[in-house]
Amino acid sequence: MRKGRWVRYLWAVTFVAGCAGKPGPEVAMRAPPQPKRRSAFMRELGTSVQGRPITLATFPGVGQPVLILGGIHGNEPTSAVVARKLIDHLELHPHNGAGRTVVILPEANPDGLLTGRRTNANGVDVNRNFPARNWRRFKHPLFDNGPSPASEPETQAILAAIEEMRPGRIVSIHSIDGNKHCNNYDGPAESLAALMGRFNGYPVRPTMGYPTPGSLGSWAGIDKRIPIVTLELPRNVDSETAWEQNRDALLAAISAEAPAKGSTGAPPAISAGHSPAGD
């Protein structure tokens, strides 16, 4: 082989070997695929006494909506954080919503959350201000239920959300002292509370042991027969722990099949193909 041909041969072998051994820059710079996000549709339902927005997050899907609320009492900030974390989770892991329509109102009492007070800026307990049949005027520094049913703008915003969305079930997130955390239910929601209990380990209770006239549970669950669970978080745990304890319970409540009308028996089945323990 002539010298010129030999040099060209060695150059070609070296070039091919180099190409096979080292990817080009366009391959090396290729980013890994990112998970597909599902952004919630955010809109303002109304404003608080002091003019702060009351915002609703909606994940469109099929079936009757599932409504989840947090922050109705300003001294229970963990409830609002857990509701916010649920929004973030469903945006990052949309399949965990099981294709259902989910509506989340994370901060129902923004003025109270800002000051750490149970009541709104008028000194009214929003969760005693609903137009339930058991509403009676009651003045108290902590539990004042307002001059009349639905007198407060925060109550009106929640009622507007329920009237517009017509939810098939409601989970209202709260927190409580004294190791009394539980899945408390009103109306035809015993099976839903039991299902949540399978995932968060909280006891299922039909009553908190004290009267709650004018509460959301009284109005929606007892009067309107909408299944509603008041998820009482333990107040002595931080928000991250509360989220970890209740993430799968909330996802199960979202994905559960609707129970038969009037049913209070076995917990409803979870939609096929969905595992709350997911991501």
Q: What is the pLDDT of residue 27?
A: 40
Tell whether pTM > 0.95. no
* Cα torsion angle, 245, 246, 251, 257, sign: positive
The Cα–Cα gap between 128 and 119 comes to: 10
pLDDT of residue 69: 98
What topology is assigned to 35-255 in CATH? Aminopeptidase (3.40.630)
Instruction: Tell me which residue has tokens 């989840």.
Output: 68
pLDDT tens track, the chain, 279 positions: 444 444 444 344 443 344 444 444 444 455 555 556 678 899 999 999 999 999 999 999 999 999 999 999 999 999 999 999 999 999 999 888 888 999 999 999 999 999 999 999 999 999 999 999 999 998 887 789 999 999 999 999 999 999 999 999 999 999 999 899 999 999 999 999 999 999 999 999 999 988 899 999 999 999 999 999 999 999 999 999 999 999 999 999 999 886 544 444 444 554 434 444 433
pLDDT in tens, 74-102: 999 999 999 999 999 999 998 888 889 99
Q: Where are the domains of the chain?
A: 1-30, 35-255
